[in-house]
Amino acid sequence: MKRRWLSLKQRWLAVVFLIVVWMALWGNIHLGTIISGVVVAVGITMVFPQPQVDRRVVIHLGFVVRLVARFLVDLVRASFNVAWLAFKPGPMPHSALVGVQLRPAPEQYFAMTAGLTSLVPGAVVVEADAENSAMLLHVMDIEGSGGALGVRRDTLALEARVLDAFASNNDMAITVLAALEEEDQ
């Protein structure tokens, strides 16, 4: 796959953004902070060049609201469940590693799904294989999560919400075609 690196304009926008973040982290706007921010930002963009993403992310506002709302519900519910597990008397719950095979979608949606999965307490992505659209999750309370099937179902539902919220019609078509090709093999 041929990769195109960010244009000079985009690279300078990244440098400016990194300088702003640097100054926000230091909490002041002094000449020394600005100069060190420039050095760090240029260094980061030179050492870690970012490839250009070919796909444009489309924002479907209704689905984004649904994604955020459900994420917040999952976040609060999981936080209470983890807190309960920490304080309840008795044996610790069984944890497990669960493999989840996602749809063969573009990497950006895979990354969003993996990130949102890891942000919810009780499960963390241990291994992410974007090329094969597979994740390995460590689940803290496998019985409370509905077993391996429940974890897979919830992760696939999260991926569907991410795709509904951000995927273009072209990306959805690519995802469906790739899934059909995998079924034929």
Could you give the dihedral angle defined by the CA atoms of residues 160, 161, 164 and 168, in that order, rounded to the nearest 10 degrees? -80
CA distance 160 to 74: 15
pLDDT of residue 1: 42
CA distance 14 to 51: 12
135-156 pLDDT per residue, tens: 999 999 999 999 999 999 999 9
pLDDT of residue 184: 67
Give me the average pLDDT of each 10-residue run along the chain (185 residues). 55 87 90 92 85 70 96 95 90 94 89 94 94 95 94 96 89 73 67
pLDDT of residue 3: 45
pLDDT of residue 58: 81
User: Are the C-beta atoms of residues 137 and 117 closer than 8 Å to each other?
Assistant: yes
pLDDT of residue 2: 44
pLDDT of residue 7: 64
- The average confidence (pLDDT) of the chain is 87
User: Are the C-beta atoms of residues 129 and 110 closer than 8 Å to each other?
Assistant: no
